[in-house]
Chains A and B, each alone.
Chain A
């Protein structure tokens, strides 16, 4: 108990220290939050303390994660992983007065596929969009808590969302190629990021990796809008990987496609995981089971209920609600 009080005091101190630099709403959020931990402090003071705490709390997880996880909002399963590239800690997202995400704590492992599943409106897309700060584009969206990328909280004041998005790319639910040529679509990110040496080679490589080159090689000057839906989505994937990000976020990338196109996208996702970290939102549980290594299950109200290896989630989930959802009794 005394531990907890001291934790809270340091939390308060760090909050007060940050009042000057941060916007008021974050400070107020920290004060109100009952389970505020010293995440910022531990990140600053090295990870030894964090490691011990984490080790105490999770026996089955290796001890080299960057930030500890609070007990209160810890989902079932094993939300901390050894090779985390992204660590979400007590992440809340609000749209105006409604809270879309409640204290999300989970890691996303490097160069693996992490699936986010759950019924519609459960917040899985919101979580995905908070990873590369696409939520910043929504006026009323507000984020509290922390989300670490390579150990750096992306909601720190000194983080530029544009710089972040150059490392964390995104593919959207509906294919959204620009009304430009296929070549210019893929080259777009390279051009805006100033990576335009050998642009032709990079475009070809990206199309190749997106398994689209063979189909469009002779029509690179034609509009991206002339392609079929599945091809458009692979074009969008090529566009996202052309600039060589570390993480690719996919928001139900196959939901608008037919089964054949869907299976091509699924193959591609597995392929991509060899070089990239992939986080994919899907409402299709079979898809999640087929392609992902880890699965996070969000249920109503923006709660992350369980996070674990995909096999465990689908074969033997800890939560009854997750089991009901997986077996189709609910959702």
Chain B
């Protein structure tokens, strides 16, 4: 008779599951820290930015309202706090950024312009160089070359950005000055060049991944029709991996937008809108560094401007990251 009931329960068999359950929750908490980080970033930036546009941050407004006790007092406190300090319009469309020198002015466009110049300039270098490097690695180079070249690009990607800034000042700028003697110590071109060099590895390695994912059958089909290697590379592989390559570009540019130390050192601290790339300009990130190293008192409008600029920067990079994810997810569909 084998039908005696068997005890297969947790407790009856001394299956130590307490550790298991604790482990599960502990690990989940670790993973959830990343979500909290994102929430914290957004809250911190918005809170500071509200303080920049109003006279007090959200936290302070709430605190005042609570401490004011009476309804009238609370209303007064909030009303006072909500009196506009810098209007959003002035911030977003103003063309004069002069937060530290009287008369102060908070138009963010010069900073955005500086960021734009560096981003476009670095893209002019990194996009062609990175793409061609990727084509070389994926289509032409043999295993031995690949094994040498890829670690070199990895090293390039691992060098701290502050070192690139130094390199721009002590090597690139003197070369530019040799050809264009009117160039100042701080100039946009030098910064754009080093940022370009910096993002070459990112663009080339992500693009190469995309090109390697193109099935060989596609290449063979083209060769079978009498195509040359050039035609296969540019007319078959490139279009087939286009979305992966575009995603790489977008990520590279997003990195250029957020790049800080190299531009802070090489491009200078003068916010201005100029079409001459040999002049000194200031990016959003460089401004943040400028405030970071100066003795700005906490709670002042200069301090709060950090968060308004930071929010602008975050919004731009966030949009590009999402765009890149979207482009890449489309490319995944192509091969599955």
Question: Which residues of A pack against B, CB within 8 Å?
Answer: 43, 47, 64-66, 83-85, 110, 149-152, 154, 158-160, 162-164, 166-167, 194
Contacts and interface: CB of A to CB of B under 8 A. Distances in A.
Contacts of A66: 2-3
B15 A159 contact: no
Contact of B12 (A83, A110, A163): A163
A195 to B, nearest CB: 10
Contacts of B14: 194
30 contacts: A47-B3, A64-B3, A66-B2, A66-B3, A110-B2, A149-B6, A150-B2, A150-B3, A150-B5, A151-B2, A151-B3, A151-B4, A152-B8, A154-B8, A158-B8, A160-B8, A160-B13, A160-B15, A162-B10, A162-B13, A162-B15, A162-B17, A163-B10, A163-B12, A163-B13, A164-B8, A166-B15, A167-B8, A194-B14, A194-B16
A159 B2 contact: no
B9 interface: yes
B22 interface: no
A166 B6 contact: no
A199 B6 CA distance: 27
Contacts of A166: 13, 15
Q: Which 6 A-B pairs have the closest CB atoms?
A: A66-B3, A151-B3, A163-B13, A150-B6, A152-B6, A160-B10
A122 B334 CA distance: 32
A150 B3 CA distance: 5
Contact of A163 (B1, B3, B8): B8
Interface in B1-58: 1-10, 12-17
B2 A83 contact: yes
Contacts of A167: 6, 8
Contacts of A160: 8-10, 13, 15, 17
Given A149-B8, A151-B2, 20 more contacts: A66-B3, A83-B2, A85-B2, A110-B2, A150-B3, A150-B4, A151-B3, A154-B8, A158-B8, A158-B9, A158-B10, A159-B8, A160-B10, A160-B15, A162-B15, A163-B8, A163-B10, A167-B6, A167-B8, A194-B16
Interface of B: 1-10, 12-17
Contacts of B16: 194
A154 B7 CA distance: 10
A137 to B, nearest CB: 14
A190 B16 CA distance: 14
A160 B6 CA distance: 12
Contacts of A84: 2
Contacts of A164: 8
Nearest to B14: A194
A83 B3 CA distance: 10
- Scoring B2, B7, B14 by chain A CB atoms within 10 A of each residue's CB, the highest score goes to B2
B328 to A, nearest CB: 24
Nearest to B8: A159
Find the residue from B8, B13, B16 having the highest chain A CB count within 10 A: B8
A228 B28 CA distance: 40
A46 B139 CA distance: 73
A140 to B, nearest CB: 17
A277 B96 CA distance: 85
Nearest to B13: A163
Contacts of A163: 8-10, 12-13, 15
Contacts of A150: 2-6
A67 to B, nearest CB: 8
A159 B7 CA distance: 8
A47 B14 CA distance: 30
Contacts of B3: 43, 47, 64-66, 150-151
Nearest to A150: B6
B148 to A, nearest CB: 32
Nearest to A83: B2
A84 B10 CA distance: 24
B85 to A, nearest CB: 53
A167 B14 CA distance: 13
Nearest to B9: A158
Contacts of A154: 8
A151 B9 contact: no
Which of B3, B9, B14, B15 neighbours the largest number of chain A CB atoms within 10 Å of its CB? Answer: B3
B6 A151 contact: yes
Contacts of A162: 10, 13, 15, 17
A262 to B, nearest CB: 32
A301 B283 CA distance: 65
Contacts of A158: 8-10
Contacts of B1: 64
